[in-house]
Chains A and B, each alone.
Chain A
């Protein structure tokens, strides 16, 4: 059996680079891709903008302050989704085992491809060439015996980097590497580990497992392995991802809203988006949750369990509405989210009553029309009172196919 060899591909400043390819005037200039919503933030900054300190998540004012010559570009999610799908198609020419980790990152199992494509360096150069030739974009590539180290390697040299970590070289690399550099160890965990005197991967890998387990529970064992550069998580090829645990949509409102009638309309719109997506993938949920975020970012989320599984827009809407009506709003609302979870696949039970069968038929007709002519061609009249469409942000859970392939425009 061939030793496992994993490649991680990370597109450099993806959205900004696509915009710079699309508009020659933007090439070499500091640009920031933002959403179309009034209260938007920077989703990606070009490397030219990053040199001025422009970062993802900054609001427009902060970004402009960091870089007065910054050019704002409203992102086009369809453009990025199509580009991502084309990148994955290129990768499929080199290996059948591709995991689309996010819209701009993928893992590729390149174990045993040497006889076809040469050394890992040659293979990486071929992939970079294809992406550059076909799309005009650059990427950073990390190659290692597992996903954890491959991701670490691709982060080590940006943009347009190639870093290879081998079994032989990993111990020296990890010895003094801060734990926070590892994929999966965030600022909070870094702080907790620091409080235990663990600052480097070398220290983490040598720390007694029993103490880590005592402090962090079941992940203690995994943390020690991570410190040693070990990771047994498999590549999950496209189409083999586990079934969605929930189906949800949320939206940041153009302005804070306290009028419950307006909030209800947004809830109906979100319920239709959730219901339509669940129906498309033949999923039903037994729990509905409503999330509200206030201007101070305090977020409230509550769920209700239904008597039976559903993907019916009206049932989802009524349940979310019941949650809303039971609340006294703290203040105006900034964000609203609706989800169904406790998911089951397939039609679990035929509707018993004629009226329910009619409702199901109506939804079938609505869905088939919307599939053919585009989302919301036929929808609930109430939605149109206030709703103004704005491009959403692509979720990190986005995948090129399946229930997580969300139409975001």
Chain B
């Protein structure tokens, strides 16, 4: 996995949890086909939800910071 750590824009569904549906990275929109796994980490007092997702071809790790309400692309395969 290559480390990216860039802010991205994400379309997500907030319903019984958070589910990213699409995201835009480097002017390209990726549709989330599968949320393979989710987990939570903490950075100080901030909760960060991680999503391991695929667009059907590539694996991405997205992260949502619950304090700042910002999304980032952490890694990609």
Contact = CB atoms under 8 A, between A and B. Distances in A.
Contacts of B39: 78-79, 82-83
Mostly, the A contact residues are: helix
Contacts of A25: 59, 77
B60 to A, nearest CB: 11
Contacts of B42: 78
Nearest to A369: B44
B36 A377 contact: no
Interface of B: 34, 36-37, 39-46, 50, 52, 54, 59, 77
Contacts of B45: 371-373
Interface centre among B37, B44, B77 (most CB of A within 10 A): B37
Given A21-B37, A23-B36, A377 B44 contact: yes
Given A22-B36, A83-B39, A374-B46, 12 more contacts: A22-B37, A23-B52, A78-B41, A79-B39, A79-B50, A82-B41, A370-B44, A372-B44, A372-B45, A373-B44, A377-B44, A409-B41
A18 interface: yes
Contact of A374 (B34, B43, B59): B43
A18 B37 contact: yes
B77 to A, nearest CB: 7
A82 B39 CA distance: 6
Contacts, number: 43
A372 B44 CA distance: 4
A381 to B, nearest CB: 20
A306 to B, nearest CB: 30
Among A23, A374, A409, chain B packs the most CB atoms within 10 A around the CB of A23
A371 B46 CA distance: 10
Nearest to B59: A23
A18 B36 CA distance: 10
B18 to A, nearest CB: 15
Among A22, A82, A375, A377, the one with the most B-chain Cβ atoms within 10 Å of its Cβ is A22
A24 interface: yes
Contacts of A136: 37
